[in-house]
Amino acid sequence: MKPSLLILAAGMGSRYGGLKQVDGVGPNEEAIIEYSIYDAIKAGFGKVVCVIRKEIATAFEEKFGNKFKDKIEVVYAFQELDYPVAGIEKFPEGREKPWGTAHAVLVAKDLIQEPFAVINADDYYGVSSFAVMADFLKNECKPNLYSMIGYVLDNTLSDHGTVNRGICEMDSGNLLTDVVERTKIHREGGNIQFFDESGTRHILGQNTLVSMNYWGFHPAVFEQLEKAFVEFVHTEGHLPKSELYIPTVMNALIKQEKIQVKVLTCDAQWYGVTYKEDKSFVVDAFNEMIGRGVYPKELWGHN
């Protein structure tokens, strides 16, 4: 069975100032998500599941239409605040912010029965990353063995504002031992830093291993995510800006020795658009890759 690709595309784009999920960066206004799907097809993925909000469904349809219809199956899951979850009778009232990336994966539960990868719609992960991930999902993935593609922190920062990253540690066998989601990471005076919940400043090394939300999962993960989300809503759901992140759930499962997460390495270069000012750099990067023959100029006209 071919693995599936789950694309998290329900973000509100508040820092970007618009729907970066559909914003064009290629020569024919191709969005980053299109290059990810193109790479996934070449790597042998069999289905794409896009997690979006109902209010942006029309924008997705107008942007992508039937571009992929004859190339790969594409289905949609909707991340709504009141998505029914067993164990939660009523959600807190007045909630406006999405519940986070763990919840975004959970809403695709009924659409995926095979090993699958998770990526962000607005991050470019590189051709080789999909080949590496597909190989793991086809040959190694188990109910208690997942994976994550690791990146170097210094290569994942924006020059135009702060970013959130999963700060990771792994053992000599390339198994993840710790991953903690850190927010508002940025360069300051030659250092890379963030402030924790208490306001304490922390310095990070340039080569720190980070998660870019690129995970490889067995469908057994849905039961684990559901259990974690129910507990989260009961304990933190009343906080209007609380979110449950994938790294938070994975870290807890690792500490409880319920799963192992293999850190996959690849030589791919990451690009992303957190802020509008990031776009010109990403556009130049795709033009350069097209010039080297990594992608055709007409992405969907020559494959």
255-267 pLDDT, tens digit per residue, is 999 999 999 987 7
Q: Is the pLDDT of residue 169 over 80?
A: yes
Q: Is the pLDDT of residue 198 over 60?
A: yes
d(CA 250, CA 228): 10
Mean pLDDT value across residues 50-76: 86
Which pair of tokens denotes residue 224? 């684990």
**pLDDT-derived band of residue 129, with 50, 70 and 90 as boundaries?**
very high
**pLDDT-derived band of residue 16, with 50, 70 and 90 as boundaries?**
very low
Kindly state the helix (H) or strand (E) to which residue 171 belongs, with its residue range. none
* Tens of pLDDT, residues 145-164: 999 999 888 888 888 888 88
Strand-pair partners of 167: 180, 210
CB within 8 Å of 89: residues ≥ 6 apart = none
Instruction: Give the chain's length.
Output: 303
Q: Is the pLDDT of residue 70 over 70?
A: yes
Specify the pLDDT at position 46.
96
Quick one: DSSP state of residue 10?
A: -
Classified as helix, coil or strand, 209 is strand
Paired sense of beta strands 73-78 and 47-52, if any: parallel
Which pair of tokens denotes residue 258? 């319920």
The rounded mean pLDDT for the chain is: 90
Specify the pLDDT at position 20.
72
Paired sense of beta strands 176-188 and 163-170, if any: antiparallel
d(CA 186, CA 280): 20
CB within 8 Å of 41: residues ≥ 6 apart = 71, 72, 303
Residue type, position 301, single letter: G
Instruction: Please indicate whether residue 190 or residue 116 has the higher confidence score (pLDDT).
Output: 116
Mean pLDDT value across residues 233-237: 92
Beta strands in the chain (DSSP E): 4-8, 47-52, 73-78, 116-120, 123-124, 145-152, 163-170, 176-188, 191-195, 201-204, 209-217, 260-264, 271-272
* Tens of pLDDT, residues 201-232: 999 999 999 988 999 999 999 999 999 999 99
Specify the pLDDT at position 224.
97
**pLDDT-derived band of residue 17, with 50, 70 and 90 as boundaries?**
very low
Specify the pLDDT at position 62.
81
Specify the pLDDT at position 219.
98
Specify the pLDDT at position 240.
87
* Nearest Cα to Cα of residue 114 among 84, 134, 128, 130: 134
Classified as helix, coil or strand, 17 is coil
Q: What domains can you pick out in the chain, each with its CATH number? A: 4-146+211-291 (3.90.550.10)
Q: Is the pLDDT of residue 241 over 90?
A: no
Q: Is the pLDDT of residue 19 over 80?
A: no
* Nearest Cα to Cα of residue 100 among 213, 269, 215, 262: 213
Mean pLDDT value across residues 243-254: 94
d(CA 52, CA 49): 10
User: How many Å separate Cα 49 from the centre of its chain?
Assistant: 12
Q: Is the pLDDT of residue 291 over 60?
A: yes
